[in-house]
Chains A and B, each alone.
Chain A
Amino acid sequence: DVKVTQSSRYLVKRTGEKVFLECVQDMDHENMFWYRQDPGLGLRLIYFSYDVKMKEKGDIPEGYSVSREKKERFSLILESASTNQTSMYLCASSPQGRGNIQYFGAGTRLSVL
């Protein structure tokens, strides 16, 4: 089975802190994605990556950056956390050339105080 692992289930940070959310997939997938999930808004794409060291902005990239130094790992970075970044963050991966099927991690619930 495809496994997408997010390093933390719950995180509590303070305003202004630099926050790293880590995601690792074990199926050699080329594509990786970061979403945030908010009630009534569904899943919104923050950033995605098609290859190592490659990144593209999604629909809501402001306040976030990403890093993909290795194929299996995709990190989401909040340079200076703000309270409006309190949310559930979901990582996903998908294989190239097999349609758009995405496999999700269990999510990280981030609270910024």
Chain B
Amino acid sequence: GENVEQHPSTLSVQEGDSAVIKCTYSDSASNYFPWYKQELGKGPQLIIDIRSNVGEKKDQRIAVTLNKTAKHFSLHITETQPEDSAVYFCAASKGSGGATNKLIFGTGTLLAVQP
């Protein structure tokens, strides 16, 4: 079945620096790649997503890139702030709705932004 690997498991950066989290997926039929942020004591929340017909997507300080050939995608956070500290999960899925609506999650990255 589909497998998603995520690295690193922990990441510590200084406030203002950039952070990059990388994921690889195994199923070439995957076409939807969301990123979730989980703050302490809360459930994961979608922060950005990308579909396989797009190579890059940006939303203010966060961006996601997708390399379909290599089957990997990355989350980039620029100008990090202490409130960016959280656990980040990547995920992959194929299709939309119906029986293919499952997300396969990576193992998570604990990002710590040091003031």
Contacts and interface: CB of A to CB of B under 8 A. Distances in A.
Contacts, number: 65
A42 B107 contact: yes
A41 B103 contact: no
Interface stretch (B37-45, B52-60, B78-86): B37-45
Interface of B: 1, 6, 9, 32, 34, 36, 41-46, 49, 89, 93, 96-99, 101-103, 105-108
Contact of A107 (B9, B43, B49): B43
A104 B99 CA distance: 19
Given A31-B101, A48-B102, A97-B97, A104 B43 contact: yes
Contacts of B32: 99-100
B103 A98 contact: no
Nearest to B95: A100
A96 B97 contact: yes
Among the interface residues B45, B97, B99, which one has the most CB atoms of the partner chain A within 10 A? Answer: B97
Contacts of A97: 96-97
Nearest to B92: A100
B45 A40 contact: no
